[in-house]
Chains A and B, each alone.
Chain A
Amino acid sequence: MLNVIEFDIRTQICPATLLIALKEINNHSLQLEDGTVKLIFLTDNRDALTTIPESVANMGYSVNVTKNESCYSIEVYGGEQ
């Protein structure tokens, strides 16, 4: 069963957004690799829409970004989804 974990990292100072995201991705690396977890980061930081997807791709995970009404949602997942 897929476990979806959401992190609201809006309003954070640069570069806290990226650092928090990287920390949480590392904390959940095993679950991401076996496809049991999907992480969602809510952010209003435009810079993070470049740096998080770039870092996630370098770590070998997949990323999907959508714009919501008040922020962006960055989905990070691994395995077959």
Chain B
Amino acid sequence: MDNLYAPIIGICLVLGLLTGAVMYLSDFCVAGMFRDLFLLRRSVMLRYLALLVVSSMILFELARQMGFLPLYPFPLLYSPTPANLIGGFLFGTGMVLAGGCVVGTLYKIGSGSVLSATAFIGLVAGSGLYAEIHPFWAAFVRSTTFFQGKITIPQILGVDPLLPILLVSVFGLYIIRLWYKDRKLVRLSYAKGYLQPWKAALLLSLIGLSSYALIGMPLGCTTSYTKLSAYFGSIFFKEHLNGLSYFHAVPLKYVQPLTGIRLQGGPGPVFDVISAIQFPLVAGIVLGSAASAAWLKEFRISFGAPLRQYVSAISGGIIMGLASRMAPTCNIWHLFGGLPILAASSVLFLLGLFPGAWLGSRIFTGLVMKK
């Protein structure tokens, strides 16, 4: 490992620790936000997601105006394609069945959930399975991409991001103010050490800004899952994996803002800048959550749920892992990073999440909870 990765690893570990602690204490479950809308007709948690998006939008734009975001839009965001919508749909279904999204699974593992660890195995497997369909899917993406070369809505409209960001932010702040006035932002919880989700949303947007300014991109972790599957897969099927083009792709090539060094990375089983960013982040989230759970005396290795729930967790994980590559990338990348800069692909991903979560909820109540 080169020393040039050391500051990146250190920063991502700290950001991961903070993310894990904040998400555990507030139970900031993105899968639950979408699921409860359909399962319980309850939209309360989506308010906090809206708050996170709007606050990140304002913070990112302020930072961009001050020159702290030289990479705008950030790397690994692409022009819109129906693949974003399809990926979002599958991702929505998978996250409901898995009982957590790509990050929710991590903070739940931190508290000792064996079900979430099962979902994580599915996530890694699904991320790796994508490599088998990559040539076909990449051709589909290429042939259906529209607004070629344009990533954000301001770019598509041919205007500076400031005005559209300002319009959306002002509207968002108006709605959030109404929720605040109606006391709809505070939740009553009996959980020890409960962190109000509105505070968590603001903290997570600050963490996202720190990641964007220091690392060059907001939070994201699913390429590391693909790497993990490639590492494990190459133990048993080295020759087969060598023949898969996806594991030779190097989609990330950028000048890292902190070090000023040109770095590159991809999903293959080699240590690169993606490994330096995402593995410490993943480890940090699990450890941050575990430390919080231990502090509250809530850490417990828990298993014993019905077999049906384990099947749901691993199936959901596989679907979510596959979808995170097809979309491409995950909900955290799109919702916490892409939406705040009005990335068109992230808007499509979000639109896909809703029907996906609806389907996941139907499957969950119809099959998983059925006696």
Q: Name A's B-contacting residues (CB within 8 A).
A: 10-16, 18-19, 44, 46-47, 49-51, 53-55, 65, 67, 69-72, 74
Query: Which residue of chain A is the closest to B369 with respect to CB atoms?
Result: A19
- Is B189 close to A, CB under 8 A? yes
Residues of chain A contacted by B36 (CB below 8 angstroms): 15, 51
B305: interface (CB < 8 Å): yes
B325 on the A face (CB < 8 A) = no
Q: Pick the contact of A47 from B29, B39, B188, B300 — CB < 8 Å?
A: B29
A67 in contact with B192 (CB, 8 Å): yes
Contact A11 B188 (CB under 8 A): no
> Main SS of the interface on chain B?
loop
B12 at the interface (CB under 8 A from A): no
Set of chain B residues within 8 Å of A51, measured between Cβ atoms: 36, 40
With A13-B305, A16-B309 already in contact, the answer to whether A46 and B300 are too (CB < 8 A) is no
Residues of chain B whose beta carbon lies under 8 Å from any beta carbon of chain A: 24, 27, 29, 31-32, 35-36, 39-40, 99-100, 113-115, 187-192, 194, 297-298, 300, 302-305, 309, 312-313, 364-365, 368-369
Query: By CB atoms of chain B within 10 A, which of A14, A19, A47, A51 has the most?
Result: A14
Quick check: B365 and A12 within 8 Å, CB to CB? no
Q: Which A residues lie within 8 Å of B113 (CB)? A: 11
CB of B190 within 8 A of CB of A44, answer no
14 cross-chain CB contacts under 8 A: A13-B312, A13-B313, A14-B35, A14-B100, A16-B369, A44-B298, A46-B24, A46-B191, A49-B190, A51-B36, A53-B188, A55-B40, A65-B190, A72-B190
CA distance A12 to B298 in the complex (A): 15
Q: Are B35 and A12 in contact (CB under 8 A)?
A: no
A16 nearest CB across to chain B (Å): 6
Nearest Cβ distance between residue B208 and chain A, in whole angstroms? 23
Chain B residues near A69 (CB-CB < 8 A): 297
- The answer to whether A13 and B115 touch across the interface, beta carbons within 8 angstroms, is yes
In the complex, chain B residues whose CB is within 8 Å of the CB of A49: 189-191, 194
Q: Which residues on B sit within 8 Å (CB–CB) of A70?
A: 300
Chain B residue at minimal CB-CB distance from A22:
B40
Determine if A10 and B304 form an interchain contact, defined as CB atoms under 8 angstroms apart: yes
Q: Which residues of B contact A46 (CB under 8 A)?
A: 24, 27, 189, 191, 194, 298
Instruction: State whether B188 touches A54 (Cβ < 8 A).
Output: yes
Q: Which of A16, A46, A70 has the most CB of B within 10 A?
A: A46
Q: List residues of chain A with CB within 8 A of the CB of B365.
A: 19
Give every chain A residue within 8 A of B368 (Cβ-Cβ).
13, 16
Q: Assess the B99–A14 pair: CB atoms within 8 A.
A: yes
Known: A13-B115, A50-B187. 14 other contacts (CB 8 A): A10-B304, A11-B115, A11-B304, A11-B305, A14-B32, A14-B99, A15-B36, A15-B364, A16-B305, A19-B369, A46-B27, A49-B189, A54-B188, A70-B300
Task: Give chain A residues whose Cβ lies under 8 Å from the Cβ of B99.
Answer: 13-14
